[in-house]
Structure 1
Amino acid sequence: MTHSAPAWAEYVERSTSLPPSAPAAGRDPAGTGVIGGYTSGGAAAATDGSGTDWRQALMRCLEPLLDSARRDLAAAGHTGVLAEQFLQRLGLRLVKLAARTLVLELARARDRGELAGDTPAARFLDFTHRLVGGSELAEFLAAYPVLARVLGESCRQGVEGHLELLARLAEDRESLVTGLLDGRDPGTLTSIDPGGDPHRGGRCTAILTFADGRRLVYKPRSLELHQHFNAFVDWLNAKTAVDIRTARLLTRDGYGWLEYVVHEPCADFAGVRRFYQRQGALLALLYVLDGTDMHFENLIAAGDQPVLVDVETLFHPSRLPATASSHDPADRALVASVYRTALLPLLVPGEFGVADVSGLGGGSTAPMSVVDWADAGLDSMHLVRRPGQTPIAANRPMLDGATIEPREHEIAVLTGFRAAYEAIARHREEFLGPDGMLTQCASDELRFVPRSTSLYKGLLDESTHPDALRDAAGRSQLLDLLWDADESLHAIVPQELADLWAGDVPLFTARPDSTDVWASDGTRIADVLAMTGLAAVEAKIASLSDVDEHRQTWLISASLATRPEPIKHASTRTRQHVGTTEADPDQLLAAATDIADEIVAQVIGETGGAANWLGLELLDDHHWAVRPMGAGLSNGYTGAALFLAQVGALTGAGKYYELARDAIRPIPLLLEALAGDLESAHFVGPGFHGLGGISYGLHRLSTLLGDSGLTSWLAASLELTEQLTTDPTEFPSYVEGAAGGLAAMQAITGLPAAGRLAERYADHLVTTVESGLRGRVAAEHGFARGFQGIAWTLGQYGVPGDRYLDAARTAADLDRRNAPAGHGWCSGDAGTALARAAAGVPADLDSYLRAAAERPVLADLSLCHGELGAVESLMWLAAREYPTAEAARRRRAGLVLAAVQQYGPQCGTPRAVPSPGLLTGLAGIGYGLLRLAYPERVPSVLLLEPTAGSRCGTAPKPTL
């Protein structure tokens, strides 16, 4: 029995065996140079000095494939300018796919001395001339049969999709003129500009331009869901005063047409405000409809109207079956929240920083590297990686030529969100039930996105490596990485691989009334989803409430606060008109208890089960992110639990104890996971932020909660910490390294491992100080990440006359040339005063205490770089009976209490958004108030003091 060759193979064989056709004469409409009828496009292309673009030269090597495409178009009656434009785009596509392999062969020919020419450019052109012709191309592709398949599929599918678009346009033209072009014929079609990701045989969205300049958007997928979304917007407009514009569309079976929405500026500032109010209302609607993937390319700012132009992911499943779902209630809440829409700031980190790709954001540099060419057009041409460029964003409003920053319009966004949310909640019965509006969407086709599109595109890019194009096994080895990523997705991997082999970004669709998923070829995959999208949306709308609205509005504010901007570890803004009062312990405890109650109200979970919070977290010291709280002491649930347990110990209220116990439940599983992944454990580190802080927190909590069982958790944490190796290239800072580890280990009693670790860390810190003295170690200034933190911990560890205390004194002087940043603990003068006092080095404490007593209270009250971090030094000095320290502490306590009473507990987060964490959030402010109220009973968490009370230390008093 014989089998016919695949379509791509027949295409390649036909292409390489036919004589070349005559190239099209003249120039293309854009005026770019033509070689063999095809142009390269692109900018800043290297040339051989005669104007020949390197892409054009490589395109000539692939000309037989393009000749076949031209013949297929002509056979369908399609010739002329549009055909040539298509062939130009196809040629560039083929060059991109084949470039890495062609350049490899170029380098081999160069190294063998086979290329003729006196210059690198001439030798490059000689290489391309050697491959021109059908037989030459056939010989080349015989060595790379997978490349032959990739190129053949691209040509065959490209022609098929192009002719399909033209046929659909001809069939629908009359309806388009009537429905989307205001009854006026636009004239002949002059250009087709495809965009977006290829699906279902290379088909993608395209913008069509006509002779009169007007445009239409072609969508090669169903638009019924978008049509129903427009109906929901119409409903919302009738119930509120937001008046949101929708994109007009024409639906057809399996495809559709959309009006082209023009990016236009706002007429005035009031228009900017209306824009963001409408965007807030859209956010509420997308939230209740479980919309996602509303990134910056899917929204156009048309004056004061945010217009969604791509609505295909409503009713989107938030998770796969239970085996893949998170056990963290805060993580589940985030996945089901307004955050999932991607309309709010969504930061994508990479080697070149972060980019906001959200519908509100956009317009930033891509953080990831992309493949590019150095020495392009020369025989030394080679691959490099450079920062990528994001597409030009049209999603943000403009006024007077300037793009508007969404962060500055938080109130407008919240106003629109609340208006829409409350309207939907009031009239929820119109959505629900067998006759509700949701049922009209039950059988609509929606896109299901199981993985990031960037992952798929990365695989497609890497699969153009020559090793993946020589044989199928090489490419399969790369693409089969999908099997390793997530076991819960194994049911769809075969269809993912089929799409990737075809050169497509994998596409899956679903229906709101089904748990099944459909592959791009129509294959039905049963029971992939845990529940239907329709059931999830019905449940969400039924449960809309004041509590949920409050949580979503917090998420909006917190997300807007994460928009990229320079991070400052100093607070300078002050409260000039705060009254001063004597703060008695009862008042301070009451204020702290109010904060504890707010944290209790924010918890996500059930009594007796897992509990966690959503918070703002500073990642890598460079940008903020909204995340479920991790385990850390500094801004994780361990820190929040420690504060709640301390409140419980002072008030006797059981609810704080119970929540503290629930919050730390995940720690044993976390320690077990880290023990099996020491690379990740090393990344966590031994400092205040990492295992040192967790160990300290467990030690304190075992006493506060009266739970001896936590001692076994602590032992496991110390055992894991002992397995971490010291990296001599990393600075052993207080928050991340050995300095914080030493402070934590000194606080832990009764476990020999803590003593061993303390000695190891102390020796390492001495070595670091010696290297710093020789100028071999660079560090940031301050307590948290500089030598001051080392000075503090060695000053506490050492005794007069030993090398540890000597090293502490040296460390305290190593960054004296750097001025403190503000008044706080982390990098300000409070941390410096603590370090120098603990090390016993001369310091002008009189001036410091006088300034600390007299200055206005900081607006930021946080422990890290705010007022309560600054006060910590006063409490430490007062406990050691330094003159005037206690008076200064009492005055600061009154100012802090007055600031809390007048302005609330202002966090050290961007825009002071309330967050539960310890260093920059509410837990730390509450804990600081407890310290001010009962300094003898509440140990310093910043200094990792033991439960028994503040360490008095053995360092001598510094010279005043």
Structure 2
Amino acid sequence: MVIYKKEFYPELTQSDFDKHISPLFYYIKSLELPSVKFNNMKYLDLEEKYPYYNSCRAIVEGIWANYWDFNLDVYIENPKNFKEAICESYSQIVFSYLIRSFAQHIKRFDKGDISPEKTYEIYNKRLRETDFEEFSSYYHVIWSRCINLLKNKLEAIIESIKLTQKHRKEIQNNFGVMETSKILFIDSGGDTHNHGKSVMVIEFAKKEKIIFKPRSVSGELNYNKLIAKLNTFVSPKFPILKVINFSDYGFTSFVNTSEKNKNMYEAGRLAALFYFLNATDMHYSNILWTDEGPIPIDLETLFHPRRILEGKSESLNSAYYYLEKSVYGTGVLPINLSKKSSDHTVDVGFTGIRDDQSVSPFKVFEVKNGFTSKISIVWKKNKVDNTLSNDPNLEKEIFKRTEEIIKGFTQFYKQILHNKKYFSEFVIELFSGAHFRYIHNMTYRYEQILRLLTDSESSSNSETAQFLLSRIGILSMTSNKNIILSECKQLWRGDVPYFSTNFESDKIYDDNEVVSYMNNSPKKEFEEKMKKISIFDMNNQINIIKLAFIAKLADPHFDEKLEVTSAVEKNKDKNLEKLINGIVYFADNLKQSVLDDRYSHLPKTWVGPVAQFGKGWTPGVLGYDLYSGRVGPALSLLIAGHILNKKEFKNIAIDIFEKSAYILENQEYELRNLLVSGFGAFSGVPGLLWALFTAGDILENKKWKEVSLKSWDLLDESLIEKDEKFFDMISGKSGAILMRYKMDGNYILDSEVLKEKIDLAYTILDNRNDKTTSGIAHGLGHLLYFFSIIHQRKADNKIEKLIKKISSIIDSEYTNSNGVKEIYIVDNGDNTSSSWCNGLIGLLLAFYEGYKANVLNKDSVSNIITQIKQVRLSQVPILCHGSLGIFEILQYINKDQEFEKETKDILEILRKNTCSPDFILDYYINGKGRYTLSPGLMAGKSGSLLHLCKMLEPDIHVSPLTFDI
């Protein structure tokens, strides 16, 4: 029996471990450490290029002496130099595998009576003189795995040379490399698969190069035949590699890269072709820019099948599958890899923007005091500015690239659409019997496991290593267990797991052994793709292209001063017609683009921009958050369907809310996925509870309201626990508390909790700096708003005092010389904003709630209304930081007779201009930027839909900005 250890599986519960991980151990424990013996290790005393260089070289020299086939020297131009280059390369592999164990082991020899530098010399000498006997015995796990990997890699080079020599005539005929030309060097630095094999660049004596691939290159060969046919009717012609296929291995031509002419039009055509061929993994290292144009150099992932799952069948209309098989899934478009615990991203897409500042989001280790016994290994983050870009030149370049990509994509898409039957039949004929790779998990995931296994503890303790190896199962808890066991086997021997399939087959192979089955063959999925291509589909793919390119751009803003004369009265009947047409336009758009979640029993969703841990917005499946998730479009569709009496809109929303209520009420498995999203009002579960309650109120669905109120019990402890980041409207728990106050008229914060939050507020005030904003979303305005709402429910002298202090700071420190409140405290420049999240309209709401709490006077509210009339107002029709948010808050305050007259004129201006149906529709049909592509509520289409519905039916008071229901 395997005991669950939380330190190895912090993200899993005991039941998860028992169900998904524990069953793996019967196999993992059977994995033996490979026995690789060698002797006559050469003692070296070279100048050390890095710590333990001579020791690493000594190990490699020993491998070479015992396993190199010296009969092959006759084919090598300079055997001595060849050996030197290979050993140099392999020494770095040894370093990466053993350095953490060296760093721990040397501590045993540090007696303190000699210098750390001398201890390092003595320790290294002892290692080599004893043939690493003590080290290899203690760190037996990593030693065996490292030595076995080196042996496998060397044997793979030996095999590549033998196969190259076997086919010298074909190589000469196809690549122009003379049979007599000897091998100068072989670069085998790529990922290793199938016992140390990897793609190799073979360089000959006259500097000619070819590529050896230790797998079938039938994909590349048949791709060439396809291109030959396509090139008869497309222009410019697609460039290709030369290919020789020998069933289980093959050769391709080597191409020199040239990035002088990155033709995005041609890249767009290639993106369309790979979209049709269900390709994946076509990132920047698998397609190269050349003088001839972009050339794909690795085509093993054409016709990639959907990920293998067990249990419930994935929906045929799954949003995840839709995105996987979209043009984004090909890898040609920008793809930003990131992780929650890192501040960095790296763009691995072929057409992504990379420069010297592009770094991995994953930590790398750094060696300190390496040539001493005081060596330490520290994990290092690369320091890079990861803020979204406001650079106008970069923005111009991105939009230019986007337009060119779309031109190429559209042109080729239409050509194939008009010849769909011919194209489909020809592809099926060509690729019959072709072999392809099945990628179960991304390579970097495997590399993380391999890196974990080099830790000094797992290097010496088999049980620890087995626990760490089993973590691969976390990535595949819904997958076939045979796949996971095969991953474990391959990782254990140091390989990146590799699986293959056949064009017509439903089988997945590890080497020649069947390890799993697919629901459909690659051929069948290609046929399904061909049935779906249409102008409608093309336009959807174009939207995904746009979204992928603008992922790293900052939110678009456009502010302008609106004059009273801008308001032009128009025919009321015509306006009503436009209003209804606008509602139908947005509702239809959402209806046509809705998809299933991975499984049909889960709430429906959409594909759109998804925030990547605050590091940009990439194409993804919308979650359950209120800001940009599925519940916002659902709520807007419900309201649209309700007021227009259209069931097709209402039913989509009912599906989402009914299934969400079921998950919450029955605490199904999906509930954990909900809770993982967090406790922020707009970023986590609370937004779903508010939307569900609001939907229940609209439809008079008592059950939905009861479930949403009861579900606060799931969040209770987490919401009130001590948290330095408590105060934030979007991601903090304070926003969630405000939602609960609006939903439940009887809810009041516990006095002790309230006292702690008051103390936290004072701490924030005392520690404010030049990065502290005045805004209602993340700054002092939020403190003012929060405590004003709390005070309205139950008056408290301490809160009243705090409200006055906050408002005083905002008035005195955040007001510029023109008497206008700013976002930050700055010495010069215009730092004003009109937005709800960071600007004046949010402050207006905060001060107004302070006024309603009988703490602030009327003038404090009127002054901000005056300021709003003076500044430039956002022209972007969204709620969060656009004109719709301005309109919404002004309309909310306009209901108070005290401010009706002051707000009436500016409301009319907004109503007839930037908040009018004409303006909104024009923006979403013709505008650029992320908002036009988003189904989301706070910065997308469903926010506009909600706004238009409220214009048509003023009795609707639903507002995500005030949490009114």
Distance 1:168 1:69 in 2: 21
Change (3 A) 1:779 1:442: farther
Task: Report what 1:62 is aligned to.
Answer: 59
Q: Report the alpha carbon displacement of residue 690 of structure 1 after superposing the two structures with TM.
A: 2.7
Partners of 1:792 and 1:835 within 8 A in 2? yes
Partners of 1:191 and 1:210 within 8 A in 2? yes
Partners of 2:787 and 2:799 within 8 A in 1? yes
Distance 1:187 1:403 in 2: 50
Q: Report the alpha carbon displacement of residue 451 of structure 1 after superposing the two structures with TM.
A: 1.3
Partners of 2:61 and 2:87 within 8 A in 1? no
Task: Report what 2:441 is aligned to.
Answer: 451
Distance 2:903 2:850 in 1: 18
Counterpart of 2:238, as a letter, is: I
Task: Report what 1:90 is aligned to.
Answer: 90
Q: Report the alpha carbon displacement of residue 590 of structure 1 after superposing the two structures with TM.
A: 4.1
Q: Report the alpha carbon displacement of residue 681 of structure 1 after superposing the two structures with TM.
A: 2.8
Match of 1:869 among 882, 885, 908: 885
> Are residue 121 (structure 1) and residue 107 (structure 2) matched?
no
Task: Report what 1:468 is aligned to.
Answer: 458
Partners of 1:226 and 1:311 within 8 A in 2? yes
Match of 1:292 among 257, 280, 283: 280
Task: Report what 1:101 is aligned to.
Answer: 101
Task: Report what 1:768 is aligned to.
Answer: 760
Partners of 2:622 and 2:629 within 8 A in 1? yes
Deviations 1:386-444 (A, max 9, x none): 23699xxxxxxxxxxx99955531121112112222222222222445xx431332321
Distance 1:126 1:172 in 2: 50
Counterpart of 2:125, as a letter, is: H
Partners of 1:930 and 1:938 within 8 A in 2? no
Change (3 A) 1:98 1:907: farther
Question: Structure 1: any 5+ residue segments left out of the alignment?
Answer: 1-5, 24-34, 40-49, 391-401, 947-960
Task: Report what 1:929 is aligned to.
Answer: 948
Q: Please give the residue correspondences for 1:675-690 in structure 2 after superposition, counting only pairs within 5 Å.
A: 681=675, 684-690=678-684
Distance 2:538 2:610 in 1: 22
Task: Report what 1:895 is aligned to.
Answer: 913
Deviations 1:39-67 (A, max 9, x none): 8xxxxxxxxxx766424233255366245
Q: Please give the residue correspondences for 1:693-772 in structure 2 after superposition, counting only pairs within 5 Å.
A: 693-724=687-718, 725-749=720-744, 755-756=747-748, 765-772=757-764
Distance 2:543 2:607 in 1: 10
Q: Report the alpha carbon displacement of residue 446 of structure 1 after superposing the two structures with TM.
A: 0.7
Task: Report what 2:166 is aligned to.
Answer: 171
Q: Report the alpha carbon displacement of residue 326 of structure 1 after superposing the two structures with TM.
A: 4.7
Distance 1:371 1:52 in 2: 17
Q: Please give the residue correspondences for 1:22-101 in structure 2 after superposition, counting only pairs within 5 Å.
A: 53-59=50-56, 62=59, 65-66=62-63, 68-69=65-66, 72-73=69-70, 79-101=79-101
Task: Report what 1:597 is aligned to.
Answer: 588
Q: Please give the residue correspondences for 1:362-377 in structure 2 after superposition, counting only pairs within 5 Å.
A: 363=354, 364-377=358-371
Distance 1:186 1:576 in 2: 83
Counterpart of 2:940, as a letter, is: G
Counterpart of 2:934, as a letter, is: S
Question: Greater CA deviation, 412-421 or 886-895?
Answer: 412-421
Deviations 1:786-814 (A, max 9, x none): 22123224323424774444433333344
Distance 2:784 2:372 in 1: 57
Task: Report what 2:5 is aligned to.
Answer: none
Task: Report what 1:551 is aligned to.
Answer: 540
Partners of 1:909 and 1:921 within 8 A in 2? no
Q: Please give the residue correspondences for 1:465-544 in structure 2 after superposition, counting only pairs within 5 Å.
A: 465-470=455-460, 472-487=462-477, 488-520=479-511, 522-525=512-515, 527-544=516-533
Q: Report the alpha carbon displacement of residue 719 of structure 1 after superposing the two structures with TM.
A: 2.1
Partners of 1:63 and 1:132 within 8 A in 2? no
SS of aligned partner of 1:913: helix
Q: Report the alpha carbon displacement of residue 308 of structure 1 after superposing the two structures with TM.
A: 0.8
Task: Report what 1:226 is aligned to.
Answer: 220
SS of aligned partner of 2:500: strand
Match of 2:848 among 824, 837, 841: 837
Change (3 A) 1:67 1:204: closer
Task: Report what 1:398 is aligned to.
Answer: none
Match of 2:147 among 130, 134, 152: 152
> Are residue 810 (structure 1) and residue 801 (structure 2) matched?
no
Distance 1:438 1:553 in 2: 26
Task: Report what 1:611 is aligned to.
Answer: 604
Question: Greater CA deviation, 77-86 or 598-607?
Answer: 598-607
Task: Report what 1:318 is aligned to.
Answer: 306
Counterpart of 2:923, as a letter, is: G
Partners of 1:263 and 1:303 within 8 A in 2? yes
How many residues matched? 882
Distance 1:925 1:660 in 2: 17
> Are residue 247 (structure 1) and residue 237 (structure 2) matched?
no
Question: Greater CA deviation, 830-839 or 605-614?
Answer: 605-614
Deviations 1:641-680 (A, max 9, x none): 2212222333333332222212324413553558997797
Change (3 A) 1:546 1:352: same
Counterpart of 2:121, as a letter, is: L
Distance 1:186 1:207 in 2: 18
> Are residue 786 (structure 1) and residue 785 (structure 2) matched?
no
Partners of 1:762 and 1:804 within 8 A in 2? no
Distance 1:811 1:670 in 2: 41
SS of aligned partner of 1:101: helix
Change (3 A) 1:676 1:462: same
> Are residue 648 (structure 1) and residue 641 (structure 2) matched?
yes
Question: Structure 2: any 5+ residue segments left out of the alignment?
Answer: 1-30, 385-393, 815-821, 824-831
Distance 2:700 2:715 in 1: 24
Q: Report the alpha carbon displacement of residue 469 of structure 1 after superposing the two structures with TM.
A: 3.0
Task: Report what 1:339 is aligned to.
Answer: 328
Partners of 2:931 and 2:939 within 8 A in 1? no
Change (3 A) 1:524 1:466: same
Counterpart of 1:99, as a letter, is: I
Counterpart of 1:346, as a letter, is: I
Counterpart of 1:582, as a letter, is: E
Distance 2:273 2:564 in 1: 42
> Are residue 941 (structure 1) and residue 960 (structure 2) matched?
yes
Q: Please give the residue correspondences for 1:653-672 in structure 2 after superposition, counting only pairs within 5 Å.
A: 653-668=646-661, 670-671=663-664
Task: Report what 1:914 is aligned to.
Answer: 933
Q: Report the alpha carbon displacement of residue 908 of structure 1 after superposing the two structures with TM.
A: 10
SS of aligned partner of 1:510: strand
Task: Report what 2:11 is aligned to.
Answer: none
Question: Greater CA deviation, 691-700 or 894-903?
Answer: 894-903
Distance 1:789 1:241 in 2: 58
Distance 2:335 2:226 in 1: 25
Distance 2:601 2:650 in 1: 11
Distance 2:781 2:871 in 1: 23
Question: Greater CA deviation, 695-704 or 78-87?
Answer: 78-87
Q: Report the alpha carbon displacement of residue 902 of structure 1 after superposing the two structures with TM.
A: 7.1
> Are residue 130 (structure 1) and residue 130 (structure 2) matched?
no
> Are residue 631 (structure 1) and residue 647 (structure 2) matched?
no
Match of 2:834 among 815, 818, 823: 823
Distance 1:89 1:775 in 2: 52
Question: How well do the aligned residues superpose, as a CA RMSD in angstroms?
Answer: 3.6
Distance 1:318 1:578 in 2: 58
Distance 1:760 1:815 in 2: 27
SS of aligned partner of 1:517: strand
Q: Report the alpha carbon displacement of residue 943 of structure 1 after superposing the two structures with TM.
A: 0.6
Match of 1:380 among 359, 374, 380: 374
